[in-house]
Structure 1
C-alpha cells in the first residue's frame, strides 16, 4: 500500500476552547462529548485542580480545572462554562475525565504544515504540555495544542480518578451529620 503521502498530508481536527482568555485545543479524537457545566460535587481531599465529580450516565467522572493545573488565572463559572469530556491513557487503559472550560471555540482542521513546534518561551503554559501551535485558517493567530496525556501525569490521573469515599458521595453527608 502506498498511502504514506496521503497519511502525512492529512489534516487533523481539533476542538478549541477558551481558558483564561486564551484559545487552546485538543485532538478531536480524544474528545468524547461536551456538556453544560451543571452539578459538580466537591470531593474532600482531592487535589486542588480537581473541581469535583459529576454523574455521566451512571459513571462518576472527575472534573479537572485546567486553569488551576496550568497555573492560569482561576476559572469563573458563567453560562458559557462547560465540561469537555475526554479520554486519557493510564497504563494502557482509557480513563474518562472532564475538563472545565470557560467556553467552547470551534472545530478546526490543521494540516501538518499549519502546526509549528511548541515555543520554548512566551506561552502561558509549560512547553512540555503542548503538541505545538496551530496556525488558524486566517493565519493571524495561533491556538495552543495541548497534549492532555502530558498535562496530567500518570500519578495525577490516578489521583483524579480515585473512587471517592462513601461520605463524599453525591447523596449528601453520612447519616447523623448535617
Structure 2
C-alpha cells in the first residue's frame, strides 16, 4: 500500500469526530482497540466447535445467543504466535459490515482492558517502513503515555480472508 492510500484510510477513520470511544484489549503483549460502537458483548470463554478444513485464522465457531458465529484469532492475522487461554482471556463479539451484510464475529483476546476515549491528535498512520505487520491491517496507531495502541483495520483483515476463501474462514 502506498503512503497516499495509508493517509487516506487514516483520515477517513477520524473524519466524523476528533475523539473516538474504544474498547482496548491485549494480544501477545500488544494493546489493540476497537470502536466501542461495533462491540456487541464481552464474553467469558465458551465451548468452541472446530470447523474441519477451515483456515487457522477462523478455525472454530461459538454459540452466541442462539446463533452460530465464527471465532477469529487476530493474532494469526498479524503473524503472532497462537496463545493458550488464561484466566483473563475473553471473547469480544463485534458486528462488522462484510460485503454489505452485517456480520457477527467473535474475537479472541488475552485480556480486555477498558473502554476509553482516544484523540485524533494522538494518532498517526502506520509507518510505511519497519512495520512487522501488514500496514493495510492497521487503521492507525494512537500514542497514549509511553505505549502505542493499535486500531486494526477489520475490513481489510476480514475482506482479504473472505475473498481468499469465498467466506470468512
TM over 0.5: yes
1:125 alignment partner, one of 111, 133, 136: 133
1:47 to 2:58 alignment: no
1:156 Cα deviation from its structure 2 partner: 5.7
**Superposed, which structure 2 residues align to 1:1-178 within 5 Å?**
10-136=18-144, 138=145, 140-153=146-159, 154-155=162-163, 159-160=167-168
**What is the TM-score when the length of structure 1 is the normalising length?**
0.78
Distance 1:93 1:66 in 2: 21
Distance 2:75 2:87 in 1: 17
**What is the TM-score when the length of structure 2 is the normalising length?**
0.82
Greater RCO, CA 8 A, separation 6+? 2
Query: What are the ranges of 5 or more consecutive residues in structure 2 without an aligned counterpart?
Result: 1-14
Distance 2:165 2:150 in 1: 22
The total of aligned residue pairs comes to: 153
Change (3 A) 1:11 1:26: same
Q: Assess if the C-alpha contact under 8 Å between 1:52 and 1:63 holds in 2.
A: yes
SS in 2 for 1:152: helix
SS in 2 for 1:44: coil
| Greater C-alpha radius of gyration | 1
Q: Assess if the C-alpha contact under 8 Å between 2:158 and 2:168 holds in 1.
A: no
